[in-house]
Amino acid sequence: MFGLSRPDGGLIPQRAFDRFLAERITPRFPNGLTVFSGRGQWRGQDGRRVHEAARIVLIVTGATPEAVAALRSIKEEYREHFAQGAVGLVLQRSCALF
């Protein structure tokens, strides 16, 4: 889950997200992925609800140590590159057929 708001109140442009996707995510998972638009919310430090546009990237892959390491690296790279306080990562076992 990749937030699209910057700490200074600005937004991460679609073009910048697309470039990150093309340069940092797709090369690590070239077999495919799906990108959803989302809207996240959480409780801020002041107790108020905070809303943020987001992109959710769904990657179906084997549960290998290499895949998990790549996902964690992507998460950290996005957090650092776009000055995010947090980037969500959900790892879930499932059965998928294509």
Structure confidence by residue, pLDDT tens digits, 34-54: 999 999 998 988 999 999 999
Is 93 a member of any domain? Answer: no
pLDDT at 35: 98
Query: How many domains are contained in the chain?
Result: 1
Supply the pTM of this predicted model.
Answer: 0.90
Is 87 a member of any domain? Answer: no
Is 98 a member of any domain? Answer: no
Is 25 a member of any domain? Answer: yes
Is 95 a member of any domain? Answer: no
- Non-local (6+) Cβ contacts of 1 within 8 A are 38, 40, 54, 55, 56, 87, 88, 89, 90
Q: Report how far residue 80's alpha carbon sits from residue 43's, in angstroms, rounded to the nearest whole number.
A: 22
Read off the amino acid at residue 22: A
Nearest to 30 by CA among 65, 55, 59, 2: 59
Is 21 a member of any domain? Answer: yes
Residues 60-88 as b/e (b if ≥16 CB within 10 A, e otherwise) read ebeeeeeeeebbeebbeebeeebebeebe
Percent of the chain whose predicted confidence (pLDDT) is above 70:
100
Phi, psi of 25 (to 5 degrees): -100, -55
Q: Does residue 58 sit in helix, strand or coil? A: strand
pLDDT in tens, 8-35: 989 999 999 999 999 999 999 999 999 9
List the domain range (segments joined by +) for residue 30: 2-81
pLDDT at 98: 81
Confidence check: pLDDT of 90 > 90: yes
Is 39 a member of any domain? Answer: yes
Is 73 a member of any domain? Answer: yes
Q: Report how far residue 20's alpha carbon sits from residue 17's, in angstroms, rounded to the nearest whole number.
A: 5
Confidence check: pLDDT of 63 > 90: no
